[in-house]
Amino acid sequence: MQIIHLFWQQISNDFNNTGCLYLWLEQAKSAKTKSALSGGDSKNNEFYPFQAPEATLVRWFGEYFDRFLPVKKRTFTKKTSHDAVIEHITVQLPCDHAKRPIPSPIIVNLSVDVDGLDDGTYAGMASFVLNVIKIEQPLAFLKELNFLSYYFEDDLQLADDAKFWLKMAVELSTVIQKDQYIPFMIAQKIKTKVEFHNKWQPLSADYQQRMRQIAPFMPFSACLVDDALFKNMNLMPIAVLQHFSEVVLNNLINKTVYPNTVHKQLQDSFIGSSFNYKQAQATEQEWKSWRLWHNNLNYDQFGAPFQLCFRLNEATSNHGIDWGLEVLLQAKVDPSFMINLAEFWQEKDLKHAFFSQMLGTSIERNLLLQLGYACRIYPLLEQVFAQNMQQRLIILTTDQAFDFLKEDAWALHACGYKISVPSWWTASGRLKAKIKMRGSQKPSAGENSGNTAAPAYLSQDALIDFNYRYAIGEDEVSAKEWQQLIESKSELVYFRGQWMQLDPPEMAKMQKLIESSQRDKDSGNLKDLLIMAANEEQYSIELDDAVNNMLLSLKNKDQLALIDQPNNLSAQLRPYQLRGLSWLSYLENLGMNPCLADDMGLGKTMQVIALLLHAPKQQAALLIAPTSVIGNWLKELEKFAPSIRATIHHGAKRTKKEDLSQIMADNDVVITSYGLIRQDKALFHSATWSRLIIDEAQNIKNPSAAQTKIIYAIQANSRIALTGTPIENRLMDLWSLFNFLNPGILGTRATFRKEYEIPVQRDNDLRKTSILKNLVEPFILRRLKTDKNIIQDLPDKIEQKVYCELTKEQASLYQSIVNEVEASINEAQETSEHKIIFLSALLRLKQCCNHPAQLLQDGSEFSIERSIKLQRLTELAKEAINNGESLLIFSQFKEICDALQTLLKTHLGFNTHYLHGGTSRKKREEMIAQFQEPNSPASIFVLSLKAGGVGITLTKANHVIHFDRWWNPAVENQATDRAYRIGQQKTVFAHKFITLGTVEEKIDQMLVDKQKVADSIVGNDESWLTSLNAKSFIKLIQLSKQD
């Protein structure tokens, strides 16, 4: 396990008080010697033991972040980079009383090398040396780290400090993108001489507020300093964030290469000198003027009772000679009150009381200051002073108006002024140059021209005529007009009664696209149409009725015409299931392949079964599912669609290749598992199936996996994917799913990465996100069972933790086990023996918490008196049965299930069923049918967790009891969901039994803390607990005294 850490360190070795972002790797395996960590350069410092050695860190950084390393050699095909430079930095880290460092909590849990740690008790700070890499481009690096983190394996994680700096990078990047920063000055006294330095700082009220909100959550490890700085540096989180912001902003500005034209334009100006803060060029008078300006600017931006608003009024004709810029005062107490500056100036004495109420008591002072600052940003405003505040409008030319819209308006807005522009300049009202594509169904050869009835469906392969035209907004333009617009000298033009901005380079690209499309693609299929329709900014689509209705049905699933439920379906589909069936059928008829992604329990199986009945095929369908549910698929088919002939391809006596044709002829559906797909790939590749249905489609999320490639290659006329999680952490999972369903619609893997994965996941490109959403949305149907509009009769489940104490007998046995474990650990020669000791201890302690008879295995009585857990169980069972309610009881131990079944059935007389791993399939199905029978009495179903935790529906029960804990929340939730499924008419109560003061209670708290952690980190059983060190494990299992 490796954890990526990032920390900011302030460096005050000179007046500039700079800082750096450093990266280091923490790992569970500690180095035994300093030389192992430092590559031989140990000097006299103590290295932090739980960190990656230099060689490991260099190799790791080069693997993931090669683009941030200096290039050693570059050829046309290959780039060779220098190795990362490792620095040794001494920092203050938490330690125990023995001055030993305290690792991160996850490292403590995983490492076997922290036995001597004083229980992780914090006693103070001590100096340790870290191997670090200096991050030269913090914002670019953090952006890349965030993107790459989606690809990390489970043994590589981001520390909380790294996650914190990722968040800060997003906030600061937003400020920079909005140009919300200004020059500022600082004074340095050197003996009797004072020098003044120019720098930059963010200026944004929103950013300041965000920093105040974020600062309290900054981890200690996000800012590390050495001994010299520890006592002298301001380490308050808000100060650290301000320092980080200013240093990163200044470095970014000063390292940016600007054209000579910019330098000439800013030569001898205050802004120009701010590009190099190391040069002291300002005079004391300039510094005083700047300080006054800066102080007033801060006040006016964040404290004045009104703000200035600049409203651009568009020219009334194509001559563009009467653009007008209006200056308005807007009250903060009531933003709807706005008054023209000239009108205010004329009436300020007459309406003094009213204006004071709306705009404050120092109106003229604030007004003059704000106007003065605005003039520095936009000098044309000086006309207001020249006209003694009597000018209602500042007249602009077209070029001046465009400059205002493109540059000055945003600069003023970034400094806190309100801007109002014509509606055609806004995102919703802006006219855009587009390609207008008219699509109409292409008549098939031999089609009766006199038949005017629209076809029921437009198949994927049916050709569509594409007719391309140039368009501005909704209006078509000729090729000549388009060319004239491209060649226009002004980017702001008056076109057919409305002003609009041109983007000549983009229009030239569209021109080439139209010319090539008219030449090479005057017709296409449905897939081509959907790809073009997804890009709403570039294409304006006009379709004939048949094609348009088809496209509307794909985009608006709720408007889809419903089909009738199949008569031979032995169930009643709920309304949302009927919509799902209609959607599946519609896409299949179009020749497009769907992904049904309904939440677990909403009946994806039922909807697919209904489709099989609604549109039977002559050729057999192949259904691939996890091994745990293939039997359930067969049972559901037999129950709800007895007319469908189905068989399972599984086991030692499964179908051979030479018998496949007969099996396909004798059955409508062949069910198999993902595991057998790999083993019998030649068999499945030898046939063409009517449908290829994959359940739990996340099994093909990795496009490089052999299993995925084998499934891609299976021939089928149509394909259906079922999954509850169509998109997990990476967009490449989505590509893999669509490469199975509709190959080509998301492009090749390389194209998808370039066009969507990187722009969307790394760069947060909203345009690409919108296009991708438009592309995939027609093919994914997802409904959640928690949505009351989808399903009204599925009640919420209520989870309850039932805490039970130990009896005296149990407590004595428990403590004896703890004592034995401590002795065994002390006697162990190697720490590698600890894992066996841990596993054995966990098993025995859980047995003890259940019942002494289970632990002792001595044939003693399984009596209620010896276990409070058992007492509580029988009480709950009696109460439920007396109320006519049924129960499910889960345990991971077969011996407990045996004893419970005997006790409940033989001694208490309850109607009881029992399912375990040795139960035959026939017996299992009989018991489930009996339990689910509506007229059967209230019953108890005892199940071993592994045998009954998945793949079955037991909605007769509305109480679920977890007699002992399976230390993975996902596994327990799956078991609870045997009752919390479609058909449940009552509130489901999940009772989780926990023994107080024991390992059960402590691990339950650990699970609560890990709820936001991926299940893969927690694991599928208690084996993840064996990675604890000895002291932590003893602390975990020790019996806590209860008050």
Q: Give one DSSP letter per residue of 330-399, joined into a string.
A: EESS-TT-EEEHHHHHHHTTTTHHHHHHHH-S-HHHHHHHHHHHHHHH-GGGHHHHHTTT--S-EEE-HH
Tell me what pLDDT residue 206 has.
82
Tell me what pLDDT residue 621 has.
95
Name the one residue in this structure whose structure tokens are 């302030």: 10
Tell me what pLDDT residue 755 has.
87
Range with top average pLDDT, 233-237, 252-256, 906-910: 252-256
Task: Tell me: pLDDT of 922 over 50.
Answer: yes
Q: What does the pLDDT average to over 700-719?
A: 93
**What φ, ψ does residue 443 adopt, rounded to 5°?**
-60, 135
Assigned token pair, 52: 């990656």
Cα 476–477–481 angle (5° rounding)? 170
CB 850 within 8 A of CB 806: no
Helices (H), 82-155: 105-110, 138-148
pLDDT, tens digit, 9 for 90 and up, residues 175-198: 888 778 888 877 777 777 777 777
Q: What does the pLDDT average to over 279-293?
A: 71
Tell me what pLDDT residue 1013 has.
43
Tell me what pLDDT residue 942 has.
94
What CATH topology corresponds to 558-781? Rossmann fold (3.40.50)
Tell me what pLDDT residue 665 has.
92
Tell me what pLDDT residue 473 has.
73
Assigned token pair, 623: 């259904």
Q: Helix-strand-coil percent breakdown of the chain, rounded to 5?
A: 45, 20, 35
Name the one residue in this structure whose structure tokens are 């009891």: 961
Q: What does the pLDDT average to over 795-803?
A: 71
Task: Tell me: pLDDT of 502 over 70.
Answer: yes
Give the confidence band of 1017 by pLDDT, cuts at 50, 70, 90: very low
Which residues, in sequence order, are bridge partners of residue 569? none
Residues of 14-38 as b/e, b for ≥16 C-beta within 10 angstroms? eebebbbbbbbbbbbebbeebebbb
Q: How many CA atoms lie within 13 A of 420 on its CB side?
A: 16
Closest CA to 341 of 379, 403, 388: 388
Assigned token pair, 951: 């793949």
Residues of 193-228 as b/e, b for ≥16 C-beta within 10 angstroms? eebbbbbbebbbeebbebbeebbeebbebbbbbeee
Q: What contacts 859, CB < 8 A, 6 or more positions away?
A: 853
Q: What does the pLDDT average to over 925-946?
A: 87
pLDDT, tens digit, 9 for 90 and up, residues 31-69: 655 555 555 444 556 889 889 999 999 999 988 888 888
Tell me what pLDDT residue 889 has.
94
Residues 609 and 644: their CA atoms lie apart, in Å, by: 9
Give the confidence band of 369 by pLDDT, cuts at 50, 70, 90: confident
Residue bearing the bigger pLDDT, 447 or 885: 885
Give the confidence band of 216 by pLDDT, cuts at 50, 70, 90: very high
pLDDT, tens digit, 9 for 90 and up, residues 294-320: 776 665 555 678 888 999 988 887 777
Task: Give the SS3 label for residue 587.
Answer: helix
Task: Tell me: pLDDT of 453 over 60.
Answer: no
Task: Tell me: pLDDT of 140 over 70.
Answer: yes
Residues 562 and 18: their CA atoms lie apart, in Å, by: 67
Task: Tell me: pLDDT of 875 over 70.
Answer: yes
Residues 774 and 357: their CA atoms lie apart, in Å, by: 50
- The DSSP output letter for 567 is T
pTM of the model: 0.57
Mean of the per-residue pLDDT values of the chain: 80
Tell me what pLDDT residue 455 has.
36
Task: Tell me: pLDDT of 1024 over 80.
Answer: no
Burial class (CB in 10 A: 0-12, 13-18, 19+), 809: middle
Q: What does the pLDDT average to over 227-235?
A: 60
Residues 240 and 215: their CA atoms lie apart, in Å, by: 9
Tell me what pLDDT residue 424 has.
75
Taking each continuous run of H as one helix and of E as one strand, the counts in the chain are: 42, 34
Q: Give percent of the chain with pLDDT exceeding 70.
A: 79
pLDDT, tens digit, 9 for 90 and up, residues 315-359: 887 777 788 999 999 888 888 898 999 999 988 888 888 988 888
Q: How far is CA 532 from CA 129, 439, 468, 544, in A?
A: 57, 11, 12, 16
> What is the gyration radius of the CA atoms in the chain, in angstroms?
36
Q: What does the pLDDT average to over 594-615?
A: 87
Tell me what pLDDT residue 524 has.
58
Q: What residue ranges do the domains of the chain occupy?
A: 2-255, 304-421, 433-443+456-555, 558-781, 797-1037
What CATH topology corresponds to 797-1037? Rossmann fold (3.40.50)
- Asked if 558-781 and 797-1037 have one fold, the answer is yes
Assigned token pair, 662: 């007969």
Task: Tell me: pLDDT of 852 over 70.
Answer: yes
Tell me what pLDDT residue 520 has.
54
Q: Give percent of the chain with pLDDT exceeding 90.
A: 23
pLDDT, tens digit, 9 for 90 and up, residues 12-30: 655 566 889 999 999 877 6
Tell me what pLDDT residue 600 has.
55
Residues 11 and 13: their CA atoms lie apart, in Å, by: 6
Tell me what pLDDT residue 1018 has.
44
Query: Which of these ranges, 549-553, 695-699, 778-782, has the smallest mean pLDDT?
Result: 549-553
Query: Which of these ranges, 121-130, 147-156, 378-387, 733-742, has the smallest mean pLDDT?
Result: 147-156
Residues 157 and 153: their CA atoms lie apart, in Å, by: 8
CB 275 within 8 A of CB 253: yes
Task: Tell me: pLDDT of 953 over 70.
Answer: yes
Residues 988 and 968: their CA atoms lie apart, in Å, by: 20
Q: Which helix (H) or strand (E) holds 482?
A: helix 479-486
Task: Tell me: pLDDT of 113 over 60.
Answer: no
Q: Which helix (H) or strand (E) holds 768?
A: helix 766-776
Residue bearing the bigger pLDDT, 512 or 838: 838
Pairing mode, if any, of strands 621-625 and 669-673? parallel
Residues 211 and 238: their CA atoms lie apart, in Å, by: 7
Q: What does the pLDDT average to over 381-386?
A: 86
